[in-house]
Structure 1
Amino acid sequence: MAFTRAAGKHRAPSRMSRKSAHVAGVAAIATTGVIGTLATPALAADVESTPSPEETGLSQVISTETLADQVGAQAEAQGEEASEAAALAEAQAKAEAAAKRNAEIRLRAAKDAKERADREAERKRLNSFQAPVDGSYVSTGWHTGGSMWSSGSHTGIDFHAASGTEVVAVGRGTVVEAGWGGAYGNNVVIRMHDGTYTQYGHLSSINVQVGQDVLPGQQIGLSGSTGNSSGPHLHFEARTGADYGSDIDPIAYLRSHGVTV
């Protein structure tokens, strides 16, 4: 039995049917190698019927992938910038720490140097000597002869000094005598740190006591004219021992310790 299409208006081929026909036609032409001038309009018409990107969905896929690539590249660039910033901050922190350490080292070195200098200065000061009366001069020399002295000669030297002039220890030592000394009047005897002895006579007053340690330049009394004295002055002796008769040249003694007399 034969079937016939119902009479009436026929439905046009669908778009997809036309596309399929177009593809088949192109394939046939490509197989035969024959392309006529009259076929060009048909091809153009078929090209116009090619699905749009919106229809196929390809544009959305490509746009999404492109955006993802852009976001990834941006994130990577930001990550590199963050890494560079962190590296720079670390380098700056290390530089600041190194500078701080160097400053501390310099400060400690300067402090140590100052302490050494202070210790050395103090050591020199403690071992220094000076004249017993500041700004004075020798009015009577050592071993000067005369009837004033029981031994027949002067066992020390006299420094010119008005009554009440400050008298100081010529160096570091310990007081072994402080009080009345007969012909010496009020006197002080000091055992020096080098083992020698110095004596200060005819004092008007005494400011130290036996057993007391004294430093160079420390006041021990005031000058006067007590004892066997013809007037205010300081009698100064240098000795090898504590007893009378062990006197040595006071000027040579002071000069040997750097004192200008």
Structure 2
Amino acid sequence: MAFTRATGKHRRPSRAARVSANVAGIATLTAAGVVAGVAAPAFAASDDAQRPEDTGLTQAVVIGDVMAEHVDAQAESQRSAADEAAARLQAEESAKQKAVQAKQRYEEAKRKAEEERAAKEKAARDEERKRLGTFVSPIDGSYVSTAYKASSGLWSSGSHTGIDMHAETGTSVHAVGMGTIVEAGWGGAYGNNVVIQMADGTYTQYGHLSSIDVSVGQSVTPGQQIGLSGATGNVTGPHLHFEARTAPTYGSDIDPIAYMAAHGVNL
């Protein structure tokens, strides 16, 4: 008795069906994390030689790895750029801080220098005012040889209107304080004489000079030489006649010893 097979039973799966099954199996195993260990045997079990169209999943995996490496490289590049930007910002901030600190140091040094300069200038001005306000003796190292108001027929008024100070001809005669020359020349009985209007409004006179070193309108300072002593005019010998006055004219004399003492000088 002959046997016949039912149509469609016990037929070998077509090639397309087998490839689809292999791919599906590999996909399933890949999802389970075992594609590396199973993929090769699964393909080896196939009774046909592997063809390029059967390796789509492998290509997909390779492409995925390449893309992942590319993404990692981009991320690393971005991190590096971010780090460089942060470092650059930090360096710029540090430079700004240093610039601010340098400017502050400069301003502080400038302020101190200006304060020191101002202090020195003030000290110099004070010293100058002090010097200009100081009175000195009309002749260094001299002494009074004839007192104020001494009586004698040598003077037309009958008394001495100033003091005589011992001095040889040619001795330097100084302005006793700061002032302005109001007379410089021949003064009759006073011989060559100089009259100075002092800063406080009083006057001083220097008579019997052998020479005169100043002129009318000139400003003088304490201790400045105005001439040399001598024996010109109505004299018996070389000396300096010194007067203190309330006006530039004769007859306004005041005690020169008291006048100079009031300005800190003892004659």
TM-score by length of 1: 0.77
Pick the aligned partner of 2:224 from 209, 213, 218. Answer: 218
In the alignment, the residues of structure 2 paired with residue 63 and residue 163 of structure 1 have an alpha-carbon distance, to the nearest angstrom, of 114
Counterpart of 1:83 in structure 2 is: 89
Pick the aligned partner of 1:61 from 43, 48, 67. Answer: 67
TM-score by length of 2: 0.76
Change in Cα spacing, 1:47 to 1:11, as seen in structure 2 (3 Å) is closer
Counterpart of 2:154 in structure 1 is: 148
Counterpart of 1:92 in structure 2 is: 98
Identity over aligned residues, as a percent? 49
In the alignment, the residues of structure 1 paired with residue 132 and residue 262 of structure 2 have an alpha-carbon distance, to the nearest angstrom, of 16
SS of 1:236's equivalent in the other structure is strand
Amino acid at match of 2:70: T
SS of 2:101's equivalent in the other structure is helix
Deviation of the 1:19 alpha carbon: 4.1
Q: For this pair of structures, how many residues does the alignment match?
A: 240
Counterpart of 1:197 in structure 2 is: 203
Describe how 1:1-261 pairs up with structure 2 within 5 A.
17-21=21-25, 45=38, 49=42, 56=61, 57-261=63-267
In the alignment, the residues of structure 2 paired with residue 137 and residue 24 of structure 1 have an alpha-carbon distance, to the nearest angstrom, of 134
C-alpha contact (below 8 Å) 1:199/1:236 kept by paired residues: yes
C-alpha contact (below 8 Å) 1:159/1:233 kept by paired residues: yes
Change in Cα spacing, 1:45 to 1:204, as seen in structure 2 (3 Å) is closer
Could you give the per-residue CA deviations for residues 123-154 of structure 1, whole angstroms, max 9, x where no partner exists?
A: 33333321111232222222233443333332
Deviation of the 1:113 alpha carbon: 2.7
C-alpha contact (below 8 Å) 1:19/1:49 kept by paired residues: no
Change in Cα spacing, 1:12 to 1:255, as seen in structure 2 (3 Å) is same
In the alignment, the residues of structure 1 paired with residue 110 and residue 119 of structure 2 have an alpha-carbon distance, to the nearest angstrom, of 14
SS of 1:167's equivalent in the other structure is strand
Gaps of 5+ in 1: 5-9, 26-43
